[in-house]
Amino acid sequence: MADDLFIEMEAAQYTKTGQGACGDDVRFMTVEKENRHLVALSDGLGSGVKANVLATMTTSMAIKFLESNVPMLEAVEIIMDSLPVCEVRKIGYATFSLFDFRLGGKARISEMGNPGYIHLRGTEEVAPLKDEQIVSSHWPDREVRKCEADFRSGDRIILCSDGVTQSGLGVRKDMKFGWRRSGVLSFAREKIAADPDISARDLSEAIARKALYLTPDGCKDDISCVVCYLRHPRVMRILTGPPFYKEHDAEYARQATLGFDHVVICGGTTANIMERELGVKVKVKLSDMRTSGGLPPVGTMEGVGIATEGILTLGRVLTALEQMRPADREPAAARAILERMMRHDRIEFVIGTKVNESHQDPNVPQDLELRRSVVKRIAAALEKNYRKKVTVNYY
């Protein structure tokens, strides 16, 4: 059923060595009420800030046009007419690849100037259902390719900028014309063969990293790789706070049985409830106590999940998500939660609503917000900044 499916869309990028801004731009959009998911990838002419401006203009316009179903030819003409003309090359130019998918329907891909998209079902490449070229009368030298693809559960679509397909060009003797689309294709197939469930995040990162690796003396062109992966959602559950009524403890604890890699117990009292109800002890390694870096350490409950402190840890998670900071700069407990969030598609919060009175002690040197409001903001940041599905249940 389409309702059970989730589309994971992730991008990995590297900027050309020596440039302050990436000359490629990637933009995602979810049109909630239509269950529609859009991606725009553009490579601006040249590199650095100027290219970034061209690329960003292109993706911003393109994604808006896609959203409002403007015919492709008209959209392309408007985009081309609006781009500033390069002083050096006397053309206004940015390439693009657009992906438009409605859950339960077909995927539409349009591209101009970018390497051709790759559609994989397992390790097999899938040909488009429809494939046509359209040409604008304003811009006769710009050909737009319009495809329709049968995008099914388990399929992946890969879009990249030419920084990926041309990596290695002129550097590697065995790659006279660079890595090429065929190189990316066989690399992606190898990766999928080795790990059939590889996430879009990991696959896009692997491809971009490999492209970077092929140009050992610095990145020669901006590298961008987008992977869209349609699959059943990976669900994780975060349990935080004791239930309002003690009688609900047992039922609440049963929510934590989803498998070790998918559960976070967030809060000391919550962990105690789990210990009591599930008969599993929280273990904290001493080495983790020393290196917990500004938050109480992470513990593990065998067979259940990880256990962290509650509101301080959630607070750090919230800041990182709102500011889109990488997890590896966070203290251990926040990092553990953030990394798990990134590996999952749907994040289910189960919140006990009992207020911890000791947090309201005026001697506590920090304002402690209520769990519910922190979780509400975490949910908003996950949905807006990371395109996750979030549900919240109260106990």
Partner 1 sequence: MDKIKVEICCGTACYLLGAANLMSIEDEIPAEFRDKVEVEARTCLELCEKENLGGAPYVRFNGEEIMAQATNEKVLARIEELVGGAA
* Near partner 1 by CB under 8 A: residue from 356, 378, 388, 390: 356
CB of 174 to partner 1, least distance (A): 53
Q: Which stretch binds partner 1 (CB under 8 A): 13-21, 161-169, 267-275, 342-350?
A: 267-275
Say how far apart CA 225 and CA 317 lie, in whole Å.
27
Q: In this structure, are residues 85 and 139 in contact, taking their beta carbons and an 8 Å threshold?
A: no
Residues 292-321, one symbol each (x = binds partner 1 by CB under 8 A, - = not), give: x-xxxx-x-------x-xxxx---------
Q: In this structure, are residues 277 and 250 in contact, taking their beta carbons and an 8 Å threshold?
A: yes
Q: Residue 353 interacts with partner 1 (CB under 8 A)?
A: no
Q: In this structure, are residues 26 and 32 in contact, taking their beta carbons and an 8 Å threshold?
A: no
Apex CA 13: angle with CA 8 and CA 18, to 5°?
170
CB of 260 to partner 1, least distance (A): 17
Q: Residue 243 interacts with partner 1 (CB under 8 A)?
A: no
Structure tokens at 109: 């891909």
Cα–Cα nearest to 22, from 163, 152, 135, 128: 163
Q: Is 46 left (phi over 0), alpha (psi -120 to 50) or beta?
A: left
Structure tokens at 44: 């601006």
Q: Residue 373 interacts with partner 1 (CB under 8 A)?
A: no
* Near partner 1 by CB under 8 A: residue from 153, 272, 319, 353: 272
Q: Which helix (H) or strand (E) holds 225?
A: strand 223-231
CA dihedral 361, 362, 363, 367 (to 10 degrees): 90
Q: Residue 33 interacts with partner 1 (CB under 8 A)?
A: no
Considering the complex, state which of residue 145 and residue 237 has its C-beta at the smaller distance from partner 1.
Answer: 237
Structure tokens at 38: 């859009």
CB of 350 to partner 1, least distance (A): 17
Considering the complex, state which of residue 217 and residue 361 has its C-beta at the smaller distance from partner 1.
Answer: 361
CB of 357 to partner 1, least distance (A): 6
* Near partner 1 by CB under 8 A: residue from 171, 289, 391, 394: 289
Considering the complex, state which of residue 44 and residue 296 has its C-beta at the smaller distance from partner 1.
Answer: 296
Burial state string for 197-232 with b = 16 or more CB within 10 A and e = fewer than 16:
ebbbbbbbbbbbebbbebbeeebbbbbbbbbbbbbe
CB of 307 to partner 1, least distance (A): 6
CB of 291 to partner 1, least distance (A): 9
- Contacting residues toward partner 1, per CB under 8 A: 267-269, 271-272, 282, 284, 286, 288-290, 292, 294-297, 299, 307, 309-312, 356-359, 361, 363-366, 368
